[in-house]
């Protein structure tokens, strides 16, 4: 009888342990990655693989899953960050600085996209425009991409303001510009920017150096008639941020995972989707640190634009 009792007791103990183990797995921690997007399905496909890859290596910290949280706009993203709903986010340098200042995030690593660790903005006009410097843009029009673009809005806007020029947004590129200001309009994409300049719809345009060399964004038939009048400092291609109050050991592990990801065959597809086409990650040391500091200096001129968008 006593032996049977012990067997039953041990059996129930084993069942209890299995139930507890299953529940622990079900109630494990979730690594949350976030992004601002107006295309949730596309964004989910870009972010979920890298989130899964990192979460799978955090099991000893109790992580059993990953999820993607998408914000409609930067204002909602800041709300999510303040509410500690997001652990990890990637952004261009200016909005990364905003997330750091307002959202309780800290800058962690630099992201390489399409094998490039950095990029710079070019402002360009037609060869026959008579415009040779950005100071000559007073009373003229410039085409930007959209209100969230680092290289095709924030950086050129910062350069113009740093030069002492005042900007005014136009509802249409056909609007008149006050003679003392630089008018800007959003073209929506890179090919529209180069086309607007080429056709004289705007006097100038701006995007990054890789766009300048990309025939899809700047076809040779258009490019041959254009000239660069300004080139910005190099800036980090993208910035990875982590929640500041996350467990320090978890933050360190995530950093180590990402730094080694480029050499891990298991991360190949996740890296290709992330960004998309993220090549690798590195620390903000040396040149990368200098680029981040350059971004901090330019942020002074466009911080109000970043906050407004």
Do residues 216 and 246 share a domain? Answer: no
Q: Given this model, what pLDDT does residue 7 score?
A: 36
Do residues 74 and 88 share a domain? Answer: yes
Q: Is residue 3 part of a domain?
A: no
- Residue 295 in this model has a pLDDT that exceeds 60: yes
Q: Given this model, what pLDDT does residue 304 score?
A: 82
Do residues 98 and 46 share a domain? Answer: yes
Q: What mean pLDDT do residues 2-16 have?
A: 36
- The three-point CA angle 110-111-115 to 5° equals 125
Q: Is residue 107 part of a domain?
A: yes
Q: Is residue 83 part of a domain?
A: yes
Using CA atoms, how far residue 114 sits from 19, 111, 164, 271, 283, in Å, is 47, 10, 34, 10, 18
181 C-beta neighbours (distance < 10 Å), count: 16
- Residue 66 in this model has a pLDDT that exceeds 70: yes
Q: Given this model, what pLDDT does residue 49 score?
A: 97
Read off the pLDDT band of 306 (50, 70, 90): confident
Q: Given this model, what pLDDT does residue 303 score?
A: 85
Containing structural domain, residue 213: 121-232
- Whether the Cβ atoms of residue 303 and residue 98 lie closer than 8 Å to each other: yes
Instruction: Please give the structure tokens belonging to residue 252.
Output: 């360190």
Residue-averaged pLDDT of the chain: 91
Q: pLDDT of 179-196, one tens digit each?
A: 999 999 999 999 999 999
- Residue 20 in this model has a pLDDT that exceeds 60: no
Q: pLDDT of 192-221, one tens digit each?
A: 999 999 999 999 999 999 999 999 999 999
- Which of 191, 205, 80 shows the shortest CA–CA distance to 141? 205
Q: Is residue 11 part of a domain?
A: no
Q: Is residue 244 part of a domain?
A: yes
- Residue 24 in this model has a pLDDT that exceeds 90: no
Q: Given this model, what pLDDT does residue 309 score?
A: 64
The better pLDDT of the pair 303, 97 is held by 97
Q: Is residue 16 part of a domain?
A: no
Do residues 127 and 226 share a domain? Answer: yes
Query: What 3-state class would DSSP assign to 187?
Result: coil
Q: How many helices (H) and strands (E) does the chain have?
A: 11, 14
**What is the tally of structural domains in the chain?**
2
Do residues 135 and 276 share a domain? Answer: no
Q: Given this model, what pLDDT does residue 307 score?
A: 73
Q: What mean pLDDT do residues 8-36 have?
A: 55
Q: What mean pLDDT do residues 15-31 have?
A: 51
Do residues 127 and 221 share a domain? Answer: yes
Burial of 221 from C-beta contacts in 10 A (0-12 / 13-18 / 19+): exposed
Do residues 241 and 113 share a domain? Answer: yes
Looking at 232, 252, 284, the residue that finishes a domain is 232
Q: pLDDT of 231-261, one tens digit each?
A: 999 999 999 999 999 999 999 999 999 999 9
Q: Given this model, what pLDDT does residue 204 score?
A: 98
CATH number at residue 298: 3.40.190.10
Do residues 216 and 144 share a domain? Answer: yes
Q: pLDDT of 89-128, one tens digit each?
A: 999 999 999 999 999 999 999 999 988 999 999 999 999 9
Q: What mean pLDDT do residues 149-160 have?
A: 96
């Amino acid at each position: 009888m006593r032996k049977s009792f012990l067997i039953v007791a041990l059996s129930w103990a084993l069942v209890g342990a299995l139930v507890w183990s299953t529940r622990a797995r079900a109630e494990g921690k979730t690594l949350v990655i976030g992004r601002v997007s107006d295309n949730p399905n596309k964004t989910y496909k870009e972010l979920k693989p890298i989130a899964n890859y990192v979460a799978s290596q955090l099991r000893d910290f109790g992580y059993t899953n990953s999820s993607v949280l998408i914000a409609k706009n930067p204002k909602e993203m800041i709300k999510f960050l303040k509410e500690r709903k997001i652990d990890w986010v990637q952004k261009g340098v200016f909005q990364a600085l905003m997330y750091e200042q307002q959202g309780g995030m800290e800058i962690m690593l630099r992201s390489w996209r399409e094998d490039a660790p950095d990029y710079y903005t070019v402002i360009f006009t037609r060869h026959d425009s008579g415009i040779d410097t950005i100071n000559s843009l007073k009373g003229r029009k410039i085409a930007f991409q959209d209100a969230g673009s680092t290289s095709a809005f924030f950086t050129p806007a910062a350069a113009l303001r740093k030069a002492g020029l005042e900007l005014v947004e136009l509802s249409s590129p056909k609007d008149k510009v006050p003679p003392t200001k630089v008018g800007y309009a959003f073209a929506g994409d890179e090919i529209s920017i180069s086309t607007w300049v080429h056709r004289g719809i705007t006097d100038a345009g701006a995007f990054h150096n890789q766009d300048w060399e990309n025939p899809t964004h700047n076809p040779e038939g258009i490019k041959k008639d254009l000239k660069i009048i300004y080139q910005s400092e190099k800036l980090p291609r993208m910035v990875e941020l982590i929640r500041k109050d996350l467990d320090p050991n978890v933050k360190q592990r995530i950093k180590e995972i990402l730094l080694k990801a480029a050499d891990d065959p298991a991360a190949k597809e996740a890296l290709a989707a992330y960004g998309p086409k993220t090549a690798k990650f590195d620390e903000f040391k040396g040149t990368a640190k200098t680029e981040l500091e350059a971004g901090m200096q330019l942020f002074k001129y466009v911080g109000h634009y970043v906050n407004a968008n």
